[in-house]
Structure 1
Amino acid sequence: MADVLPSPTIIPKSTKSDTLEMMVAELNNTTSEHGHCNSMPTDSSNRTVQKIADRETSSDLEEVIIGRNEEKQKILSVLLESAIQEMVILPIYGIGGIGKTTLAQLVLNDAQFQGYSLVWVYVSQEFNLYKIGNSIISQLTNKTSNISNRQMLHQRLKELFSGNNILIVLDDLWEEKQTRLAELKVMLGLGLGRKVIIVTTRDGSLARKICSPAVTPYKLETLTVDECWTILKQKADFENRVDKEQLEHIGREIATKCGGVALAAQSLGYMLNGMTSDEWESVRDSYIWNLSTSEGHEVLASLKLSYSHMSDWLKLCFSYCAIFPKGHKIVKYDLIHQWVALGFVEQSRIFDSMQLCEKYVTQLLGMSFLQHSKTRQRGYIFHNA
């Protein structure tokens, strides 16, 4: 991996892989119509796929957060009560897209932790103690760490932890094996410094396994309809519409269908931006809302709706992103050049191919199909798309 990435970097949103299963048949039809289904390179031949060194999510708050202040205060109170403990592990759990990562970001950026060394590790489904340990070391030292010997890894962590106050967020943990979780807790417990560990996960059982003995895992509940409506309005630029009085009732009904899930409201809000009132009604009345009643189906339904309103060209570009394995990052301009080379970009008399691809990236980011990748690791430069 190069020391400096010359262009912005984006990554597939974690929910995207789940949604793709629902879209495969339609994507195959679309790619077949355009004659490109055999031109997509495999993982091994694509040299612009670069492995994540650190995390997909980050500690940075990128926009105004709607709701969650009450939950933030509750978590800060629990951590304050546990201040006498040398190490406290507090898990936050809930369904995908509900805002666990956002809540962890809010806590980490609170003034209560001024003077703490702050560490953010995106864990995901690939549980690797060396990856976690080296990421912590890299962030505490601002130097790349690639220690492959467990004894040496533990010794270095022990040195860095001793005498320091450290807040570590382990975002999106999936590992269920008690033995692996025990090894993780041992590694985090090294040294004599004060450590606060926040873990986000979808699994309540996992949360109970990893939390500190005197701590109760925090279950994050869904947002209210009003909060979802506020998010949806913000993304849809609702206040600047001349027909907002006509759309108020329809918009609130759509917000209700979000099921209190922030990601659903964000995706739908971006999609509704610029749509006519008839199109708002079409979204509200779509059959897609009735396809599933499982927990968290609102996220998949909202993303499916967003996908269904993409242009055929944007669908092609999005389907191409599926070749990138989860846990990898995509160099933005490398991706754009691949789209252009494969003929995935529409012809325009007004905009050139690069301008159109920039628009595609912005649309995919806005609909939450992609997200920005950020890192504080030295030698890497990232800019917003």
Structure 2
Amino acid sequence: MAKKMEKMRVDLEVITDQHKKFKLMADTNANELKVVDIRETSSMMEAQIIIGRTGEREKLLASLSESVTGGMTILPIYGIGGLGKTTLAKMVYNSNQFKDYSQVWVYVPQIFDLKKIGNSVISQLSEKESRYTGVQMIQSSLSKLLADKKIFIVLDDLWEDMESHLDSLKAMLRVGKGSKVVVIVTTRDEGIAKKMSTIEPHKLAPLTGDMCWSIIEQKCDFESRLDKEELEQIGMEITMKYKGVALAAQSLGHMLHSVTFGEWESVRNSHIWDVSTAEEAPSTHVLASLRLSYSVMPPYLKLCFAYCATFPKGCKIVKDDLIHQWVSLGFVEPPDVFSSWQL
């Protein structure tokens, strides 16, 4: 232990010396760093066939039709990441059942901000940007906008689990006198779903193997392949390895596009799938499928990809600057027409 402590002391001295030489300064504005949340969603539906959620959409619409009488109705949709909670919420949001409602779509970032949510609702209902800084001003504005109205709201990707914050959120949306407010909440957490719900929450079921295979076919342009008959059985065996997660199927579909028969077999036989077989942890199968995408990259791309891990979550990366950094680190060979000083 004494030797370890001596080595640690030497290492700390080296770090301190480098800190002085490079004139490194503590970042006092670290908490003020503005990041762009690339996971932000909207109500817009992509122009493609949605696979496997039509029955659940009809079930949710029927449940809401029976439950919505007056006041506020909250129906949470919960399940692990990648199952398709946001897609199902979009299907309900864009259905004809709520076309006579004023509609609001709010993406809720991981850092919960009640004022931001309130201002987003006000902006969409009034069609004017709202920047109220006080909760009381937000409540007063919402009480006028929601009064005697039919409002349909989606709160997508709710992470906040503090009961007092969730109660404040529900109270903020309940202020309209004589209003009929219907709220869909998507969340990964069953506890949050139960705290928010006024009717039975909906646990999103995994897709069947056939549904997942249909997604892979769609994403890898399977029908255009000359060897599709030989590949179909391999593809079906692959789909059984990641427990019906739509995100994993999409990722694999893109990865398998234009690759050889042997590479399809390599994916099926990969030991990555053996990382976890626990039924209680299906999210590990999503990670396994995404890790496969990384494992089949050529070495030079793995370097570039791994470098991106140095950026904080949500950081907006400037493409041209990133390429220049890769070049300076030797990950990318510059073309002959450029000299090092030009780059």
TM range (shorter): 0.7 to 0.9
* Residue number among 57, 62, 71 corresponding to 2:41 in the alignment: 57
Q: Is the 8 A contact 2:37 2:109 kept in 1?
A: no
Aligned CA distance change for structure 1 residues 154 and 288 (closer, same or farther; 3 Å): same
The CA distance in 1 between the partners of 2:104 and 2:210, in whole Å, is 33
- Residue 325 of structure 2 corresponds to 342
Equivalent residue pairs, number = 304
Mean Cα deviation higher: 246-255 or 129-138: 129-138
Mean Cα deviation higher: 218-227 or 338-347: 338-347
Aligned CA distance change for structure 1 residues 335 and 313 (closer, same or farther; 3 Å): farther
- Residue 90 of structure 1 corresponds to 75
Aligned-residue offset at 1:288 = 0.5
Question: Is 1:204 aligned to 2:187, yes or no?
Answer: no
Q: Which amino acid aligns with 1:151?
A: Q
The CA distance in 2 between the partners of 1:54 and 1:118, in whole Å, is 23
Larger radius of gyration: 2
Question: Counterpart of 1:343 in 2: which secondary structure?
Answer: helix
How big is the alpha-carbon RMSD for the aligned residues of Structure 1 and Structure 2?
2.7
Aligned-residue offset at 1:237 = 0.9
Question: Is 1:288 aligned to 2:275, yes or no?
Answer: no
Q: Deviations over 1:90-119 (max 9, x none)?
A: 000111111111100111011111122221
Unpaired stretches in structure 1, ≥5 consecutive residues: 1-41, 353-385
The CA distance in 1 between the partners of 2:125 and 2:38, in whole Å, is 13
Q: Is the 8 A contact 1:123 1:172 kept in 2?
A: yes
Aligned CA distance change for structure 1 residues 153 and 251 (closer, same or farther; 3 Å): same
Mean Cα deviation higher: 270-279 or 341-350: 341-350
Aligned-residue offset at 1:145 = 2.1
Aligned CA distance change for structure 1 residues 312 and 118 (closer, same or farther; 3 Å): farther
- Higher relative contact order (Cα pairs below 8 Å, separated by 6+ residues): 1
* Residue number among 308, 312, 315 corresponding to 2:295 in the alignment: 308
Aligned CA distance change for structure 1 residues 79 and 323 (closer, same or farther; 3 Å): farther
Q: What are the equivalent positions in structure 2 for 1:304-383 lying under 5 Å apart?
A: 304-326=291-313, 328=314, 330=316, 335-344=318-327, 346-347=332-333
Aligned-residue offset at 1:50 = 5.2
Question: Is 1:194 aligned to 2:177, yes or no?
Answer: no
Q: Deviations over 1:177-228 (max 9, x none)?
A: 211111111011111322110001111122111101xx10001110000000
Q: Is the 8 A contact 1:225 1:260 kept in 2?
A: yes
Percent identity at matched positions? 52
Aligned CA distance change for structure 1 residues 135 and 323 (closer, same or farther; 3 Å): farther
The CA distance in 2 between the partners of 1:87 and 1:54, in whole Å, is 31
* Residue number among 110, 134, 141 corresponding to 2:126 in the alignment: 141
Aligned-residue offset at 1:329 = 6.4
- Residue 67 of structure 1 corresponds to 52
The CA distance in 2 between the partners of 1:53 and 1:155, in whole Å, is 29
Q: Which amino acid aligns with 1:209?
A: K
The CA distance in 1 between the partners of 2:63 and 2:219, in whole Å, is 33
Aligned-residue offset at 1:82 = 1.9
Aligned CA distance change for structure 1 residues 133 and 322 (closer, same or farther; 3 Å): farther
Aligned-residue offset at 1:324 = 4.7
Question: Is 1:253 aligned to 2:237, yes or no?
Answer: yes
Q: Is the 8 A contact 2:51 2:214 kept in 1?
A: yes
- Residue 268 of structure 1 corresponds to 252
Q: Deviations over 1:150-183 (max 9, x none)?
A: 1111111112212322211111112122111111
Question: Counterpart of 1:170 in 2: which secondary structure?
Answer: strand
Unpaired stretches in structure 2, ≥5 consecutive residues: 1-25, 339-343
Question: Counterpart of 2:292 in 1: which secondary structure?
Answer: helix
Q: Is the 8 A contact 1:91 1:201 kept in 2?
A: yes
Q: Is the 8 A contact 1:93 1:201 kept in 2?
A: yes
